[in-house]
Amino acid sequence: MPKPIVNCLQAYTMAKKNVLNNRKRPGLVARLRSNFLTGLVIVLPVALTIWMVWAFVGFVDNSVLPLVPEAYKPSSQLRGYGVIIFLAFTTIVGSLTKGIFGKQLLKYIEGLVDRMPVVRTIYNGVKQIVETVLSQSNSSFERACMVEYPRRGIWAIAFVSTATRGEVLAKSGEDAMMSVFLPTTPNPTSGFLLFVPRKDVIILDMDVESAAKLVISAGLVMPPTKEEIAAGKTKPRKITQK
């Protein structure tokens, strides 16, 4: 092979190696960007959690402290004092309503509320929501599932609420149905209540927390399967486009 051609091939090979080396070694800006995004993933959840707790404590303080007599208010502004007063007051009220006198008093107050048209609707609605959230029922949102929604062939993550009973089941014509909550992305606190035939509900192995992460992340964070957990791969997988 002529020497000029050999020299050209060697020069081409060296240039190609230099290009590959430059690709493998990111520049300063790329490294800084990667470090910033990595730090943001760590710092942002912590900062948001601290801010939300701080804001909630401030909201409770601003709502409770004006109701506290001046003799019981702290001499200096103490963050969280209103929260302590609220917790103590709520605990005392709960203890009193467990007795016979407290139950009768509560029944009398609720009787008065039931006579007020607008107040009755608000009170009963809020009471039902609080009782549902604080309920210790074993069947409440303890299992994740998949249902076909909004049409056949498209699957969505949902949470099993309970077995459907009563008029809904009787008039559906199905032998067994399940009440499921279908959350929205990225806010899983809103969603839809669906009554689905039991045969159309696929129960998942992942727990409710893992399913909620899947919904919040819009499918980017995929919980590990049973096989991966058994193999020691317990961290959720992050789905990336190739």
6-53 tens-digit pLDDT: 555 565 566 656 655 555 566 778 888 888 888 888 888 889 999 999
Q: Mind listing the pLDDT tens digit for each residue in 124-146? A: 888 887 776 666 444 467 799 99
> Checking phi first, is residue 238 left (phi over 0); if not, alpha (psi -120 to 50) or beta?
beta
Across 206-214, average pLDDT: 89
- Residue 69: phi and psi, rounded to 5, are -60, 150
Examine the domain organization and report whether 42 and 121 are in the same domain: no
Assess if residue 17 is contained within a domain. Answer: no
Q: Within this chain, do residues 158 and 127 fall inside the same structural domain, yes or no? A: no
What pLDDT does 24 receive? Answer: 56
* Residue 14 counted as domain residue: no
**Do 166 and 117 reside in the same domain of the chain?**
no
**Is residue 15 in some structural domain?**
no
Average pLDDT, the chain: 82
Asked whether residue 224 carries a pLDDT value surpassing 90, the answer given is: no
Amino acid identity, position 21: N
Among candidate residues 35, 69, 95, the one where a domain is terminated: 95
Within this chain, do residues 82 and 123 fall inside the same structural domain, yes or no?
A: no
Q: Is residue 18 part of a domain?
A: no
- Whether 151 and 118 map to the same domain: the answer is no
In a domain, residue 29? The reply is yes
Beta bridge partners of 147: 156
Is residue 226 predicted with pLDDT exceeding 70? yes
Please, are residues 182 and 147 in contact by the beta-carbon 8 Å criterion? yes
Is residue 6 in a domain?
no
Quote the pLDDT of residue 14: 66
What was the pLDDT predicted at 109? 87
Question: What pLDDT is recorded for position 16?
Answer: 58
HSE-up of 219 (CA within 13 Å, CB side)? 6
Categorise residue 120: left if φ over 0, alpha if ψ from -120 to 50, beta otherwise.
Answer: alpha
What domain range includes position 105?
97-135
User: Which residues contact residue 221 at a Cβ distance below 8 angstroms, ignoring those fewer than 6 apart?
Assistant: 213, 214, 236, 237, 238, 239
Number of structural domains in the chain: 3
Same domain, 81 and 105: no
In a domain, 52, yes or no: yes
Instruction: Let me know if residue 90 belongs to a domain.
Output: yes
Same domain, 128 and 155: no
- Among 108, 135, 162, give the residue marking a domain's end: 135
Can you give the pTM of this predicted structure? 0.48
- Do 220 and 192 lie in a common domain? yes
Q: Looking at the structure, do residues 179 and 232 belong to the same domain, yes or no? A: yes
Is residue 134 a contact partner of residue 94, using CB atoms and an 8 Å limit?
no
Task: Give yes or no for residue 234 having a pLDDT over 60.
Answer: yes
CB of 86 closer than 8 Å to CB of 64: yes
pLDDT of residue 8: 53
* 228 and 159 assigned to the same domain: yes
Instruction: Give Dmax (Cα) for the chain.
Output: 109
Q: For the ranges 19-23, 73-77, 220-224, which has the lowest average pLDDT?
A: 19-23
Using an 8 Å Cβ cutoff, are 237 and 222 in contact? Answer: yes
Phi, psi of 184 (to 5 degrees): -100, 160
3-state secondary structure of 190: coil
Same-domain check for residues 230 and 167: yes
Same domain, 220 and 164: yes
